[in-house]
Structure 1
């Protein structure tokens, strides 16, 4: 691995641990940009672009058709792009753009940490456009959230394309490509397929609401030009949408489908194939990498934005589940296509699974109980019998187009049940822990969701190394990648660790942030509080939160490690505080954040989605409270299994899994505070372990370099001064 030296922020004029020049706890008004050094002129060790291109022979990458040397340098294009959007070029942005261009030219992978306000979208889009215009392939940009996809497609790329066109051979083109489930299926909408949820019980009011949604989709289907679900406003629930969409495996294919020539998903793919930049999501990127049939157009460069979420999103794609309701759905799809007795075998096997899971303890399953093994084998064999009874997978489609769709849906559901059951059986029986590849656990379910047996890979590093990084250059970027001050933790999870003999080169670069964290923010660790327990928030925590919010005059985002803690704090503090207090779940998250941003005294409490999904610049957010270090639950099946697996291979499971997870969320949560150059405030962590535990240094090195203190009086003074100003 070649590591580009990490850029440090401009040091504050006061030594760490000392009060700023202003009165105790007051936040200085002086904004200072943090310069970032460009990557070294000499390329890092690793494969050159030509060498990697040669290794891709026979793959999906294409060769250059134009001359990169003839295109304007990336610095010139970036300057024009920044001017076009009315921005100011930042040192970190320029350093990142140069590093991305260097990675594309050298063929090495690159991880870039770019703090909020850096302008990282332009920093990777400009060199990506430059590359796409001088090669035959597209550049794929993958994001984790719909919000960022929309920002890229609706705002950044249109302005960039127009601004850069005068310096390029033609105006760059771009498109968004989503999974097939996101597009309306004309064939399914007209063929009258059975509703997957018809046998589940719903509240009569809910049925009525879903029925109205179905009617709206039918009316919209006659008007839409894209079939994109996101263009249906207001949106509809999953139950209604499923009646009009198919997964990639359920799809007949353009050649066999009666509606193939007008298929919205195929039209979207065709647009993407003709575009220079294709914006997609991590899930589709993973499916494209894992499946034999490519979903994305030819590309030899991928930019993964919000890369801190890549492993979780890929794990979700690679996971599987088995439940009685899922098996019943497969039986419904088989319908009358097979003899009733054969379908009944599968239905009975599903009933057996339901009875077994109803009495089994939830959690990780390390050894396969005999009764569960027999049940899984029954499910596998019954599903296989149904597949055999269905007959050939192709043939007769033209004579019976509606029947072809029903048969494909039946095959897809049966294959998933059979393959998942076999996969779960294969997960057991390993003599050594290091040989185990997957973990199986029982999810207890809820009132509306039945107990479900789940399976997931213990690591996706090998798959990513082979399928994603193997035949293309990948740039990974986020505001939080250098955990504990280094990229190695996430790099290992991505499969980029440099093993002996591994020829894949990669580099890491931290371009810093335009914010002066030591003068704009305080990191307060409440070292005097007791360690958090398992019985809810201690009274001392509630008193501390009350005092901090009163000092701030509201303006607080409370990030809690569980929804139970968030709700408990909300109920307790509404009686003590005079400011409005919202809690996640009171309304849609979007509406809650809107109300929080529009009314300065209002506070908002919540859990996971708020740790990463809130962008509220300005005086409405002066205080971020974190109740405890967000370690995964000790009984979390996947996390605990991964820790054990790392330990079995000689590593530190706690640091590699639990501490890395906590560091990532802490950094994301703390990053909610400063969203613009003029923002100021406090990040208050109530968990004293951030000051006292042996792993505290690793966690604190993952956070922005705020001015640190353990003195509650200084923090309250600072918040009062901010509220008064």
Structure 2
């Protein structure tokens, strides 16, 4: 007989069942976390829970989430930042957990994965029902056209085999340009009732499955869209679990960022020209040319004021786009059976709305005084790169704290978790960015509002608790934090000879086995180039091959080193002897000319706060914590984290940064660090099973 909701086992009992079913062992931190999550769900208070690598945090939130869903009949949403974690949850953790808890819960709990519409194959577009505009460079590049043709052919073949149409299941994948030929955005979609293949639509099937599931796995981007648009993209739910919560603000900011390019305006004009008087469409094309000319005259970087000529160009784009939208008009009754016409109309309006709304947002961004603006505007350009793109103008929210408070925390019980949530020993730094009131310290007014949402006040707001359940790792015994206090502070002219010599000696002592985390690709390439001839071990550099393949090569050959930049700071999971040394070249502060970071820092200072600590140091602390966390990935791991930036030891903010790192044993003596690495590299130091 199935148990009733009132007699469901406790989360402690369910966790014990789940752990036994997967062949694991109960961990103190996991038990503490499962009880904290269960308490948050029952009380409705929000929870931030830091759970170190190896805690088993996925089970610790999935068990109470599934119990709640079965007990109440309400859906729980789990949001992740990365595809890798999504796949781990859906392909491994949830199937095993659902089987393990089937008897105790009275039925097998159900789960589904849901992404934005762009992530799914569009059968209507694949059948030629949705013409697409080619990229400008593809118009004249026969090689690009040929490569596109091959990719689309692959996609057509895959369409007959796939059951989900999910882009992430296509291996190997295709580039963004090719995928756009077979996918549509939510704005471009005809809708399930109008589309001739609506009943077979992959995106609609995924949405339907999610609507019936106990637990839905999604990503931070879709969670952000659900909040930004105020439209229920996700199924009705009352609990949200945000894994990889350290990345939430960046992902929501990215989703709320808009971009305007002359090519997008021109494409909108071309699409409109097929439906309306050509003169009206031509005026939008002329506005695109005017915008391009004005944009070429602007320097790359943040704009504190919109130049008058650009104001005129943007006003022309706004007005011409509006005229095109008006000329297309609403669909009349007799046109509803014209599928081709409806499709063309939908495509044109999707681009026109985007162009018009972005132009309006860019123009209104400067209406308020500098300290009271909601958005940051900047010009992009990468003329120095191998494949330069035309310049563009971007606009992003100064802060998303108001948005998150209103659309997330005030509507759902929210559990935020990650291995890295306490910075400087406190949850407050990230809590303020999320829109939660600071607990442990007084703070300046938060750094602005998103999309005109009121700036949260720290004296009231959602009730939340911060819990650090620790780590199964014995950090002081398993790892050494070596800070190269004797090195001169890093400069702007690349890596110095003394730095490269220090790095060489550390790598040699480790016998390879080194993950080099650099603040720029330029530095990673310089280190690779200058050390390859001086080292007897292989050195791989990010960009020389697919990152996943490089990480695999690094893991498979103990002597190999891997040097790279940002994605490696958070994306490398290599347990075992292949990784004994993590090197960080410099404290990863944001660039002084970073448009968003510099604007946020200035806004904090305008209200009397410490902009450097609130923005730059917090950014650096989060990345440092993530980077140094690459060292210990299992309880058997041992090694050294070497920070080759003396400011960590000498600067006033060094204490805040060090308090954000795992509690390794610390030394400033290079001989101590190299000695430890030599011992780890010696076969005598390995376990018997490792040297047989």
TM over 0.5, shorter chain: yes
Aligned to 1:517: 475
Deviations 1:53-93 (A, max 9, x none): xxxxxxxxxxxxx9754211000000000111111110000
Aligned to 1:596: 554
2:545 is paired with a residue whose SS is coil
Q: Distance in 1 between matches of 2:458 and 2:599?
A: 26
Q: Per-residue deviation at 1:352? A: 1.2
Aligned to 1:627: 585
The match for 1:555 among 500, 513, 518 is 513
After superposition, residues 329-340 of structure 1 pair within 5 angstroms as: 329-340=267-278
Q: Distance in 2 between matches of 1:213 and 1:395?
A: 39
The match for 2:365 among 427, 431, 444 is 427
Q: Distance in 2 between matches of 1:395 and 1:102?
A: 54
- Determine if the alignment matches structure 1 residue 108 to structure 2 residue 45: yes
Aligned to 1:15: none
2:356 is paired with a residue whose SS is helix
After superposition, residues 556-571 of structure 1 pair within 5 angstroms as: 556-571=514-529
Q: Per-residue deviation at 1:195? A: 2.8
Q: Distance in 2 between matches of 1:603 and 1:99?
A: 40
1:191 is paired with a residue whose SS is coil
After superposition, residues 294-333 of structure 1 pair within 5 angstroms as: 294-333=232-271
Structure number with greater CO (CA < 8 Å, separation at least 6) is: 1
Aligned to 2:453: none
Aligned to 1:487: 427
After superposition, residues 234-633 of structure 1 pair within 5 angstroms as: 234-393=172-331, 395-396=333-334, 398-431=336-369, 433-446=370-383, 447-497=387-437, 499=457, 502-633=460-591
After superposition, residues 92-241 of structure 1 pair within 5 angstroms as: 92-201=29-138, 203-241=141-179
1:523 is paired with a residue whose SS is strand
Aligned to 2:452: none
Deviations 1:498-540 (A, max 9, x none): 6466241000000110000000000000000000000101111
Distance 1:203 1:576, change over 3 A: farther
Q: Per-residue deviation at 1:347? A: 1.0
Deviations 1:300-336 (A, max 9, x none): 0000000000000000010111111111222232241
Q: Distance in 1 between matches of 2:207 and 2:610?
A: 44
The match for 1:705 among 663, 674, 678 is 663
Deviations 1:560-583 (A, max 9, x none): 000011011111111211110000
1:200 is paired with a residue whose SS is helix
Distance 1:450 1:395, change over 3 A: farther
Aligned to 1:90: 27
Deviations 1:673-703 (A, max 9, x none): 0000100000000000000111111100000
- Determine if the alignment matches structure 1 residue 692 to structure 2 residue 647: no
Q: Distance in 2 between matches of 1:396 and 1:346?
A: 28
Q: Distance in 2 between matches of 1:501 and 1:525?
A: 39
Distance 1:353 1:676, change over 3 A: same
Aligned to 1:651: 609
Contact 1:321 1:454 in 2 (8 A): yes
Q: Distance in 2 between matches of 1:660 and 1:68?
A: 44
Aligned residue pairs total 659
With the length of structure 2 as denominator, give the TM-score of the two structures.
0.93
After TM superposition, where is structure 1 displaced by more than 6 Å over at least 4 residues in a row?
none
Deviations 1:94-138 (A, max 9, x none): 000000000000000000000000000000000000000011221
Contact 2:436 2:461 in 1 (8 A): no
Deviations 1:367-425 (A, max 9, x none): 11111111110110111111111121564454211221111111010011011111011
- Determine if the alignment matches structure 1 residue 661 to structure 2 residue 616: no
Distance 1:67 1:698, change over 3 A: farther
Q: Which runs of 5+ in 2 are unaligned?
A: 439-456, 686-692
Q: Distance in 2 between matches of 1:154 and 1:397?
A: 45
Contact 2:77 2:237 in 1 (8 A): yes
Q: Distance in 1 between matches of 2:175 and 2:287?
A: 30
> Does 67-76 or 261-270 show the bigger shift?
67-76
Contact 1:644 1:653 in 2 (8 A): yes
1:673 is paired with a residue whose SS is coil
Q: Per-residue deviation at 1:235? A: 1.2
Q: Distance in 2 between matches of 1:94 and 1:245?
A: 43
Deviations 1:440-484 (A, max 9, x none): 000013444110100000000000000011111000000000011
Q: Per-residue deviation at 1:339? A: 1.5
1:455 is paired with a residue whose SS is strand
Distance 1:116 1:500, change over 3 A: closer
Contact 2:582 2:630 in 1 (8 A): yes
Q: Distance in 1 between matches of 2:315 and 2:473?
A: 58
Contact 1:445 1:452 in 2 (8 A): no
2:127 is paired with a residue whose SS is helix
Contact 2:273 2:282 in 1 (8 A): no
The match for 1:717 among 664, 675, 687 is 675
1:543 is paired with a residue whose SS is helix
Q: Distance in 1 between matches of 2:141 and 2:514?
A: 37
After superposition, residues 667-678 of structure 1 pair within 5 angstroms as: 667-678=625-636
Contact 2:436 2:458 in 1 (8 A): no
Q: Per-residue deviation at 1:650? A: 2.2
Q: Distance in 2 between matches of 1:378 and 1:444?
A: 23
> Does 464-473 or 67-76 show the bigger shift?
67-76
CA RMSD across the alignment: 1.4
Q: Distance in 2 between matches of 1:312 and 1:408?
A: 31
